[in-house]
Structure 1
Amino acid sequence: MKRIGFLSFGHWSPTRGSEVKTAADVLTQSIDLAVAAEELGLDGAYFRVHHFAQQLASPFPLLAAVGARTSRIEIGTGVIDMRYENPFYMVEDAGAADLISGGRLQLGISRGSPEQVIDGWKHFGYRPDAGESPADMARRHTQVFLDLLQGEGFAEPNPRPMFPNPPGLLRLEPHSEGLRERIWWGAGSNATAEWAARLGMNLQSSTLKDDETGEPFHVQQAQQIRAYRAAWEAAGHARSPRVSVSRSIFPLVSDMDRRYFGHGGKESDQVGIIDQTRSIFGRGYADEPDRLVAQLAGDEAIAEADTLLLTVPNMLGVDYNAHVIETVLREVAPALGWR
């Protein structure tokens, strides 16, 4: 059995063929898709965060709204770029969204990917410390965030406060118990996956990672997951971790499916250079359901993960994406033992 969710990059564009013309469209349709996915029996609604782009950015208003409109589905991100985040304010926002949803938040964070502008985090008021890289700064922000989520008091109370204080040092509010165990790290390498394990974060591994061995993407990703689990066990954490992978999966069951995704072109891994690092991009899957099942059965990383996130083409609209989700749940998941 696997948990299955969707992952939306939240694009909008006023171009011909787009069902998502504006920022208002992408926000309201993201909520509607989460509601539809819950009704179909999907387990999670996850959203990507990008700054300075016509995509979803500030995640917490959206997560809170989805939490208020749904009752069961997990609500998450994949991922928030911690170079841009104030961990203190983020703790308050995350606590509020988690409480609104009844403890369903699954928050994916990472050191970030190449952005639309040069050093965009500078415009948010952040600078690496002396000797730090931007990635180091993201990890520092993360460690502060994780510490604050523990809910321990750290701030000296005012002796003449506006409102009465509880005894002792004060913590940030609202505090949501258990949220610390529902933080995920988006790892692009084996080393960062092991770092996340030592800190007790769950693992999100997407369709991009450092090309560390030259082997097929799904093989390298499975190795990353196994390295993560070994590091988790060595760290002695009491609970079991969760691991997700994301994939583009499109069963071709209608003329519309074949028109959108039946032309091929993404059946193999791709290799490129990102931030002067050789990176490997995983393939997409689009085929008739029986052939799709046979192809997915050979994906080692999906087999290793407990959670699968389906990347959805959000600009094709809520109805079409609900159709894709329903088809995967009906035609693919049972045959592979995911349901």
Structure 2
Amino acid sequence: MPTSAEPLRRLGFLTIGSFDADDPGPGHEATLEVIALGEQLGFDSAFVRHRHLQHGISSPVAVLAAATQRTSRIELGTAVIPLGWENPLRLAEDLATVDVLSGGRLQPGISVGPPMQWEHVRDALYPDTADREDFGRDRVSRLLRFVRGEQASSFSGTVGIETFSERVQPHSPGLIDRMWYGAASDSSATWAGEQGLNLLTSSVVRAPESGETDFATIQRQQILAYRAAHPAGRVSQGLVVVPTDSATAEQRARYTEYAGARDVRVGIPQGPAGLLFAKDLIGTSDEIATALYAHAAFREVDEVVFALPFGFPPEDYLQILTDMATKLGPALGWTAGT
């Protein structure tokens, strides 16, 4: 619970990993360079978003596998993998493999629900079973069982020269304690806590039936609901935060324009789900620190994964991350890792 007298314990960042559809290599390389830069700057974690059929990272686990070979300390996370696109058994194998490659640094974040654009992708994704697929919480439970090392096959033993295991291989024992859930409501936050998952909060929440529209108040209540179910669980906050201490005048103007275009959504429930968006925090590190200390939900966490704005060039991310690590982090009492 950071205050001016109680420091922020862990500082991380989140990137979408944008790329050019006609030349995707440089964009993926830039994402890996951003993660390596994060480690050099002392960040505790680097998370990547998940984007299917878009010009953002479609396979975060594969990208993080590459990142394991360029880093040695920083935690590597996903925020979040939508399980509607995944087979839980296969995903458990991928997660365990990357966790082994990273030396136990993987922090997988997951979520539930039908795939985005479901009506347009259902026949390609599940041509024979679309009407029978369950996109609810049971999909999470299946994944957790496999990650935990519970039975995945009714057979184990040797056939000829091949040996088979009844559980996912490789098995990474500590991975189950580093699984995260992306929740946007009190009920999903409570459920995550009951499953022993860590909680990823973001810049989006669902408007409650009470009619409350203040983002910080709603997010704080979700965190409290989670902690009531799982007091020892980790909670991370993921607001869009852009410090401008070393930014050029042109960068500051562009950042302000970006935030202004998004601010029109703040306080107004959006779409059928009634989604509420947090205000992006743009300004000097001292200004952002003041705003965060006044944020009811921020006062309930001791670690953050601040989201980088979408679609900015690498030089902007260099400036933002550098200011975040050298100015904003210290303003919040955080100490860089080594």
TM surpasses 0.5: yes
Q: Aligned equivalents of 2:156 and 2:289: distance in 1?
A: 62
2:136 is the alignment partner of 1:142:
no
Distance 1:285 1:129, change over 3 A: same
Give 1:8 deviation, angstroms: 1.0
CA distance in 2, matches of 1:272, 1:123: 32
Matched, 1:248 2:240: yes
Structure 2 contact 81–111 (Cα < 8 Å) conserved? yes
Instruction: Evaluate the alpha carbon distance shift between residue 219 and residue 159 of structure 1 in structure 2; reply closer, same or farther with a 3 A threshold.
Output: closer
Q: How does 1:47-86 map to 2 (within 5 A)?
A: 47-86=48-87
1:220 corresponds in structure 2 to: 218
User: What number of residue pairs does the alignment pair up?
Assistant: 320
Q: Identify the residue that residue 10 of structure 2 maps to in structure 1.
A: 3
CA distance in 2, matches of 1:37, 1:189: 30
Report the TM-score when normalising by structure 2: 0.86
Alpha-carbon contact 1:83-1:121 (below 8 Å) kept: no
CA deviation profile, 1:17-56 (whole Å, cap 9, x unmatched): xxxx732222111111100110001111111112111111
Letter of the 2:270 partner, please give it.
I
Pairs within 5 Å for 1:89-168: 89-112=90-113, 115-116=116-117, 118=119, 120-125=121-126, 127=129, 137-157=135-155, 161-163=159-161, 165=163
1:272 is aligned to 269
1:315 and 2:311 matched: yes
Cα distance in 2 for residues equivalent to 1:114 and 1:158: 34
Identity of aligned residues (%): 30
C-alpha separation in 2, matches of 1:207 and 1:82: 20
Question: For residues 163 and 59 of structure 1, do their structure 2 counterparts lie closer, same or farther at Cα, with a shift above 3 Å needed?
Answer: farther
Query: 1:87 matched to which residue of 2?
Result: 88
2:97 aligns to what SS in structure 1?
A: helix
Is the Cα contact below 8 Å between 1:12 and 1:54 reproduced in 2? yes
Asked if residue 12 in structure 1 is aligned to residue 19 in structure 2, the reply is yes
TM-score norm. by structure 1 comes to 0.86
Q: State the match for 1:17 in structure 2.
A: none
Q: CA 1:34–1:162 in 2, change beyond 3 Å: closer, same or farther?
A: farther
Structure 1 4/179 Cα, relative in aligned 2: closer, same or farther at 3 Å? same
Cα drift, residue 109 of structure 1: 0.3
State the alpha-carbon separation in 2 of the partners of residues 4 and 151 from structure 1: 30
SS in 1 for 2:109: strand
| Equivalent residue, structure 2, for 1:18 | none
CA shift at 1:161, angstroms?
A: 0.9
The unaligned stretches of length 5 or more in structure 1 are 15-20, 234-239
Shift of 1:116: 4.5
Is contact 1:49–1:58 with CA below 8 Å preserved after alignment?
Answer: yes
Q: Segments of 4+ in structure 1 off by > 4 A?
A: 126-130
SS of residue in 2 equivalent to 1:257: helix
CA distance 1:122–1:309, change in 2 (3 Å): farther
Of stretches 185-194 and 110-119 in structure 1, the one that deviates more from structure 2 is 110-119
User: What is the CA–CA distance in structure 2 between the aligned matches of 1:140 and 1:114, rounded to whole Å?
Assistant: 15
Alignment root-mean-square deviation, CA: 2.4
Q: Distance in 2 between matches of 1:13 and 1:165?
A: 43
Change (3 A) 1:114 1:280: farther
CA contact (8 A) 1:5 1:46 kept: yes
- For the residues of structure 2 that align with 1:299 and 1:197, how far apart are their CA atoms? 23
